[in-house]
Copies of this chain bind each other. A is one copy, B any other.
Amino acid sequence: MVKMRDVAKLANVSVATVSRVLHNPETVKEATRKKVLSVIDELNYKPNMLARQFRRNETNIILVVVPSIMNTVFSGIIEGIEYEASRHGYRVLLGNTNRKVENEYDLVELLKKRQADGMILLSERMDSNDIKSLSEEYPLVLATAYIEGLKVPSVSIDNVSSSREAVEHLIRLGHKEIAHITGPLQFGISKGRYKGYKQALMQNNLEVRNMLVQEGDFTFESGYNQMLKFMAIEKTPTAIFAANDEMAMGAVKAVKEFGLNVPRDIAIVGFDNIAFSSKFDPAITTVAQPLFEMGQKSMKLLLQQIQGKPILKSQYILDCELIVRDSCGGKGKEKVLNENIST
């Protein structure tokens, strides 16, 4: 393995000069620099990063912890992280937890052992006290989640208001019997989306009925199963707000199996705008999070910490957008509505 000393020897300079050529080329006389560079090329010298990292005590690696790599929401955020990271010379590596807390704790060890300069968590499985104390010692950002009351830098969306908007859209379309399939209610995002649903109903003087709220677990199957329950109610709801797209699609499947049509008989709205939502039949009306932006913002927050800059504002909440497609039956009407407004 060719090392810096070899380059130095052949170029008739000291190792310090070689190091300078690599990191502060402007401090080296042009002739020397060219000489060194040509020798580096000639010997095909690759700096030993392990040595460098050890010496400087930094890796230029950002660890992103994802609960699942199959989810397009996460990949959208990751794109934003990667974009911002590479602009600053950082490389992003992904640690997959498969939704298991122990893997999350395992990946945290990488950070503690300095295998990464910082970490972005795309999940909130760990105990919040652990997250807090981790955050006090290491650069850390939470994305998609944020732990109330905890001053951990985080980037998230307002699940409450964006869900409210989605449900209000259904109300504006004339629906009065609107059901909700929630996510697992131990998660903050599920609670938030549920809250938004209730707010929309209450603000429009509609009753929040227990029977019209069922807890799912974010899977297609659970959407299907909970929809089956709604179909069994005597006065079947005319619209469904599902806490994510997968469940919305599962609900659609159940409706179809009853020989009914979405959106004609039952309107359905999801959340997340996963890649498949637009390809589903019918295309799912849903709430899109600003994924790229969230990733970018998270990375910026992380960089501030790594660079030891003071963080003026550490909690960011970004805006979502309602994407009206076919499953809610409001596409044409929405257009008319917009035109009315704009005229």
A: residues with CB less than 8 A from B are 46-51, 53-54, 57, 59, 61, 63, 68-70, 72, 74-75, 78-79, 82, 91-96, 98, 106, 110, 112-115, 220, 249-250, 253, 256, 275-276, 279-281
Contacts and interface: CB of A to CB of B under 8 A. Distances in A.
A91 B113 contact: no
Given A78-B96, A95-B93, A220-B279, A114 B49 contact: yes
Contacts of A51: 54
22 contacts: A47-B113, A48-B113, A49-B113, A49-B115, A50-B114, A53-B53, A54-B54, A61-B115, A63-B93, A69-B69, A69-B74, A69-B75, A70-B275, A75-B96, A82-B96, A82-B98, A91-B95, A93-B94, A94-B94, A94-B96, A250-B279, A280-B280
Contacts of A96: 75, 78, 82, 92, 94
6 shortest interchain CB distances as A-B pairs: A49-B113, A94-B94, A93-B93, A54-B54, A50-B54, A70-B75
A96 B46 CA distance: 23
A114 B48 contact: yes
A322 B54 CA distance: 51
For this chain, the copies found in one complex come to 2
Contacts of A115: 49-50, 59, 61
Contacts of A275: 70
Contacts of A93: 63, 93-95
Contacts of A69: 69, 74-75, 78, 94
Contacts of A75: 68-70, 96
Nearest to A44: B112
Nearest to A92: B96
Contacts of A49: 113-115
Interface hub of A98, A114, A279 (most chain B Cβ within 10 A): A279
B72 A91 contact: no
A93 B62 CA distance: 11
Nearest to A283: B253
A47 B68 CA distance: 29
Interface hub of A50, A95, A253, A276 (most chain B Cβ within 10 A): A50
A107 to B, nearest CB: 8
A282 to B, nearest CB: 10
Nearest to A275: B70
